[in-house]
Amino acid sequence: MVLPVNNPTKSYWIEAAESPLRDFRSTVDLPKETDVVIVGSGYTGATTAYWLHKYTANNGSTPPHMLMLEARDICGGATGRNGGQLRPHAYSRYPAWSSRFGADGAHTLIKHEMAHLPAFRDLLSEEGITEEVCFKLGETFDAAMTEEAWTRLKTAYEDMKNDHGENGDVIRDCRLIEDPIAAEEFTQMKGCLGAVVHPAGQVWPYKLIHALLRIVLNAGNLNLQAHTPVMNVSERDASGWITVKTSRGDVRTKAVVHATNRWASHLLPDFDNLIFAGRGSLAAIKAPEGFIKHTGAQHWDSVVNNYHVQIPAPYNTIIVGGARQLLVHDPRSYLRNDSEDKQFDGVPEFYQSWPASDIVGWKGEDPAELGKRVSEGGCWTGITSSSIDAFPFVGAVPDHTGHFVAAGFSGHGMPRILLSAAHITPLILQFLKITFTPPALVAPYPLLPGPFHATAERIKKLQKLDATEVFEKTVKADLESARKSFCNDARSRPRSDQA
Ligand SMILES: Cc1cc2nc3c(=O)[nH]c(=O)nc-3n(C[C@H](O)[C@H](O)[C@H](O)COP(=O)(O)OP(=O)(O)OC[C@H]3O[C@@H](n4cnc5c(N)ncnc54)[C@H](O)[C@@H]3O)c2cc1C
């Protein structure tokens, strides 16, 4: 049982956005009664509210009254602290997914992620917020920094090509750059041996969520409440009401959406053994305008990577995350770790050294200047929700009538959540007996792949797994990476060793 800490490190995305909705409360007091309480104001909560609005906007029925309760400031969780990459797993998970779900199952999962690119483009264009939320489509890369990484990336690509053919609809989107000189030129990553390239997007996630919430607030059926942690949610009583207990009083509601990510198990103990914390870190680095041509990631092995994106003018900062060469020496500092109120030792300096050591032709300072001081949002930590079977839990919560969930996106929510939220929306409206019409924006897309469904069978099976054993295995694998040479150069040794 754990709630979000109330003094997390400051994130550049939140501080630089200066949003008027940051501490917003629609009303001084909470309403006594509503149709739907959405717990959590991140990407999941906001897109669920948005779809509830869109599905009911044009069909003459009364839209549901929504109350969104957020423990922190609005969008103060993972969505306000992430990497900004809308980067589908276009091929890289193919071996793992095809061995679990077969070639067609893996294909369905990839198609779902890729569908988020046009779905984002069309939604943002329809709402006229593309520029406001700094959205761009383009190409991204996985850069192999070692032979080990190159073999792994190429094998994933080749496996997919072998199963689906040269012209398969997902493989057509991906390409290999095998010549190291061409790979270095494309990726701008020094010493890159080769790269796999595919379509992706980038966005300012916090601005996106605040824009969507503004749209739903303007439509008039959302009551939004910052700094209101939910302590407990009851089962549905005989009259059909669920009681939501908050630090500011109780609310009764007909339905509850748990959009609480890593913290889902606080209100739904069934998820105790299913969703865990993972602590990540990022920094914002000042850079010349348009310096980074493509979003991307560097890979040394399956554990050690960095990823980055550059925000457009007037901000221009590079957001870089990972720092695994350094962190991997102490896996317990990030695996199942909730210390979002603390920086990692030595990580701000690691990120400041990164542009000059890793980017071809870096024209900025060395060490690089942060976009803000460390304590003001220049470097921050954030909590990902790590699902025990690597897939999120989406749907009506089994055995808890009136409760719906979308959580456990495992550090990779951007190309998964928009359409997952569109999947639970009709379930909620059917439950409330409100008629609806799916908007044209979702019509072309597959909403939810099989492994995402929060079925009773899946939950029961996973509850029986030995989560400690899974954790210890991961710690062991990460410590194996820590022994490799790329984790033992001057910048990667733990600071305690350097004293
Ligand atoms: C460091 C980091 C980097 C990442 N980088 C990327 C990336 O580049 N690309 C990508 O695809 N994904 C990335 N992710 C993952 C992505 O950010 C998440 O999958 C996504 O933001 C999850 O959205 P969410 O709304 O489910 O969760 P959150 O944004 O965490 O929202 C949940 C909200 O619920 C609130 N809450 C929880 N419990 C309660 C309660 N009891 N009462 C009231 N409120 C409550 C929390 O305060 C929080 O605001 C990253 C995550 C992190 C932490």
DSSP letters, 99-130, are: HHHHHHHHHHHHHHHHHHHHHHHHHHHHHT-T
| Residue 88 beta carbon below 6 angstroms from any ligand 1 atom | no
Tokens linked to 117: 């690119």
Q: Is 412 in the pocket of ligand 1 (CB under 6 A)?
A: yes
Token look-up 């509830």 returns 52
Question: Per DSSP, what are the bridge partners of residue 190?
Answer: none
324 and 381 belong to one structural domain: yes
444 is a domain residue: yes
Q: Whose CA is nearest to atom 15 of ligand 1?
A: 411
Cα(211) to centroid(ligand 1), Å: 17
| % of the chain residues with pLDDT over 70 | 99
Token code pair at residue 250: 């109780």
Counting from 1 in the atom list of ligand 1, the atom nearest the Cα of 69 is 43
**Tokens representing residue 369 in the block:** 């200047």
Give Cα 301 to chain centroid, integer Å. Answer: 22
Q: In the prediction, which pLDDT does 106 show? A: 96
Q: Cβ(327)–Cβ(273) under 8 Å?
A: no
Widest Cα–Cα separation across the chain: 69
Is there a single domain that holds both residue 363 and residue 484? yes
Query: Do 415 and 461 share a domain, yes or no?
Result: yes
For residue 417, what pLDDT is reported?
A: 98
Q: Read out DSSP for 286-313?
A: ---TT---SEEEEESSSS-EEEEEEPPT
Has residue 499 got a pLDDT over 70?
A: no
Predicted confidence (pLDDT) per residue in 382-394, tens digit: 999 999 999 999 9
Tell me: do 305 and 429 sit in the same domain. Answer: no
In 177-193, which positions are buried (b, 16+ CB within 10 angstroms) versus exposed (e)? beeeeebbebbbbbebb
Q: Ligand 1 atom closest to Cα of 262?
A: 30
Instruction: Domain of residue 489: give its range.
Output: 276-387+466-499
- Asked whether residue 297 falls in the same domain as residue 434, the answer is no
Is 404 within the bounds of a domain? Answer: yes
Q: Token pair for residue 39?
A: 């717990």
- Measure the CA–CA gap between 443 and 115, rounded to whole angstroms: 11
Considering the domain architecture, whether residues 471 and 450 belong to the same structural domain is answered as: no
Query: Closest residue (by CA) to atom 34 of ligand 1?
Result: 40
What does the block give as tokens for 104?
């067609």
Cβ contacts of residue 307 below 8 Å, gap of 6+? 83, 85, 87, 295, 296, 297, 298, 320, 321, 322
Residues 461, 475 share a domain: no
CA 234, chain centre distance (Å) = 28
Q: Does one domain contain both 446 and 485?
A: no
Give the residues across from 275 on adjacent strands: 387
Residue 392, ligand 1, Cβ within 6 A: no
Q: How far is the CA of 339 from the centre of ligand 1 (A)?
A: 15
Q: Report the candidate in 375, 205, 192, 381 with the shortest Cα–Cα distance to residue 300.
A: 192
Q: Is there a single domain that holds both residue 497 and residue 455?
A: no
Look at residue 481 and tell me if it is in a domain.
yes
Atom number, ligand 1, closest to the C-alpha of residue 85: 8
497 and 395 in a common domain:
no
Alpha-carbon distances of 182 from 106, 141, 178, rounded to whole Å:
30, 13, 8
pLDDT in tens, 448-462: 999 999 999 999 999
Q: Is residue 315 predicted with pLDDT exceeding 80? A: yes
pLDDT per residue as tens digits for the range 246-291? 999 999 999 999 999 999 999 999 999 999 999 999 999 999 999 9
Determine the residue of 73, 74, 79, 344 to mutate for testing ligand 1's pocket, defined as the one with the most ligand atoms within 8 A of the Cβ atom. Answer: 79
pLDDT reported for residue 491:
86
Q: What is the CATH number of the domain that holds 455?
A: 3.50.50.60
Return all residues near 61 (Cβ < 8 A) that are at least 6 apart. 434, 435, 436
Q: How many domains does the chain have?
A: 2
In this structure, what are the phi and psi dihedrals at residue 404, rounded to the nearest 5 degrees? -130, 150
Is the confidence at residue 167, as pLDDT, over 80? no
